[in-house]
Structure 1
Amino acid sequence: MIEEPTKLQIRKSIRRPSAEQIAAFRDIPTGFLCDAMEGQGALCGTIQHIGGGRDLPTHAYGPALVADNGPAEILATMGALHIAQAGDIVVAAVHGHKNCSAAGDRFCGMMKNKGVAAFVTDGQMRDYPGIVAAGLPAWCAGLSPNSPYSNGPGKVGFGAVVGGRNIETGDMIVADRDGVVVVPFAQIDLVISQLVAIKELEDTLDEKVQGGFCDMPAVQAMLDEGSAKLID
């Protein structure tokens, strides 16, 4: 580049789902959402609940506020904290960089104070006891005590690739012990419309399994029609 890029760019006009749309994702398992999106939607499995389901809430939902940092950077995350609204989920992209913290206990404490619902990053975090004390649920790619930089460049309110999926600010994020799922903004209403039917199917199958059901009729049908066979 001939000129140095702007250190920090913050988008002024940020779209967010309506309060009704956000509320529709309360207590919804991530698996239901993937079923509503042709079995897809989850971030890479390396991004997991920081406590493995211990010590902190294990379910979170809210609109994404994307902080696109560079490797070992947190300037965009600082910008996201500056404009975050209550209920947002701050998504900090560090382009998969490891061996450096993308956030620690103080960042989590400030996000909690701001009303942020959760923190998601494809990087690592540090200060685990302090994060637990702050009470902010977080999903990350592990722990590292190394410190990041805040030199930029970074962008806030746009989008980034995190965990193998493009996440745009305003997309819905739902996270639990199974992982993190992104529902693209344009698909929010479609996914919501399918959740009742998916829950009914899941509840019906749960009842059958609890009642002893263990058959695989699809496999038997394949054997009957010859598309599968038993071999001695």
Structure 2
Amino acid sequence: MFIKAPTDNIEIAPPWPRADLDEVKKLAQYPVALIGDAQSRLGMMASPIRPVTPSPRLAGTVLPIHAREGDNLAIHRALDDALPGDILVINANAETNRAVFGDILGEICLAKGVTGIVVDGSIRDVDELAGQGLAVYARGISPAGPWKNGPGRIGFPVACGNIVCNPGDAIIGDNDGIVVIPQHALSDTIERTEAQERTEQKMRDAIHAAV
């Protein structure tokens, strides 16, 4: 861990399977709104969870973190076990007055192959994070820094933006927001999204033909 702090009060789940990244990338070719439509318009995070960096395209698998509001010890500890393709999905209890993620954590993410962060809470160092090329979504922005005392939980299901996110689920983001796809439903969602795209393309063709 980059910082020196005891982590005895951080509960860590056993290793979990992750959604196939090739399938995630295949689905990520489509807009979040289209994927949501293919999921019966379920699984999309609440609108306050918004992109705060200029490159919001995000695709990977959920590494869930439950952090105490205003405290990021669990986030630091989670990065010890992060794998390339993981996306940090952080329940920070919707606290927006104190940030739990900033540019130092961003540097660690890049070193670990984590390219996306979703925080139901606040982040800071927006300009620096943008320069790193990370896709960062959050409920709020605050210059106030975090504590590092814990407690926290890593690898257990969390609520983020009103959606339950299980470890290893697929997660995709764009300028419209975030959609979460249960790991077991990924292949079926790809097929449904492709079918939805064909249906909508027929509608576009019909519109142009009528003009």
TM-based fold match above 0.5? yes
CA RMSD between the two structures: 1.7
Deviation string 1:84-136 (CA, Å, 9 cap, x unpaired) is 11111111110111111120111112101211120001111111111112111
1:196 aligns with 2:194: yes
Higher relative contact order (CA 8 A, sep 6+): 2
Q: Which runs of 5+ in 1 are unaligned?
A: 214-232
1:13 aligns with 2:15: yes
2:181 alignment partner AA: V
Write out aligned runs for 1:211-230 (5 A): 211=209
Which residue of the partner structure matches residue 52 of structure 2? Answer: 50
Q: Which runs of 5+ in 2 are unaligned?
A: 1-6
Give the conservation status (yes or no) of the 8 Å contact 1:112–1:135.
no
Give the conservation status (yes or no) of the 8 Å contact 1:10–1:79.
no
Q: 2:184 aligns with which of 183, 186, 189?
A: 186
Three-state SS of the structure 2 residue aligned to 1:68 is strand
Write out aligned runs for 1:2-81 (5 A): 6-51=8-53, 56-81=54-79
TM-superposed CA distance for 1:208, in Å, is 2.9
TM-score, normalised via structure 1 length: 0.83
Deviation string 1:14-56 (CA, Å, 9 cap, x unpaired) is 11012332232232211111111111111110001103xxxx3
- In structure 2, C-alpha distance between the alignment counterparts of 1:169 and 1:21, rounded to whole Å: 16
Report percent identity of matched pairs: 26
- In structure 1, C-alpha distance between the alignment counterparts of 2:13 and 2:55, rounded to whole Å: 30
Give the conservation status (yes or no) of the 8 Å contact 1:33–1:41.
no
Compare 180-189 and 5-14 and name the one that shifted more: 5-14
TM-score, normalised via structure 2 length: 0.91
Which residue of the partner structure matches residue 137 of structure 1? Answer: 135
1:157 aligns with 2:136: no
- In structure 1, C-alpha distance between the alignment counterparts of 2:160 and 2:142, rounded to whole Å: 19
The alpha-carbon distance between structure 1 residues 210 and 49, as it changes in their structure 2 partners (threshold 3 A), is: farther
- In structure 2, C-alpha distance between the alignment counterparts of 1:131 and 1:176, rounded to whole Å: 17
Three-state SS of the structure 1 residue aligned to 2:140 is coil
Which residue of the partner structure matches residue 167 of structure 1? Answer: 165
1:93 alignment partner AA: N
- Greater fraction of residues in strand: 2
Deviation string 1:137-158 (CA, Å, 9 cap, x unpaired) is 1111121001111211111111
Which residue of the partner structure matches residue 91 of structure 1? Answer: 89
Which residue of the partner structure matches residue 112 of structure 1? Answer: 110
1:94 alignment partner AA: A
Give the conservation status (yes or no) of the 8 Å contact 1:118–1:138.
yes
Three-state SS of the structure 2 residue aligned to 1:9 is strand
Give the conservation status (yes or no) of the 8 Å contact 1:64–1:171.
yes
1:181 alignment partner AA: V
Larger CA Rg, structure 1 vs 2: 1
Compare 72-81 and 16-25 and name the one that shifted more: 16-25
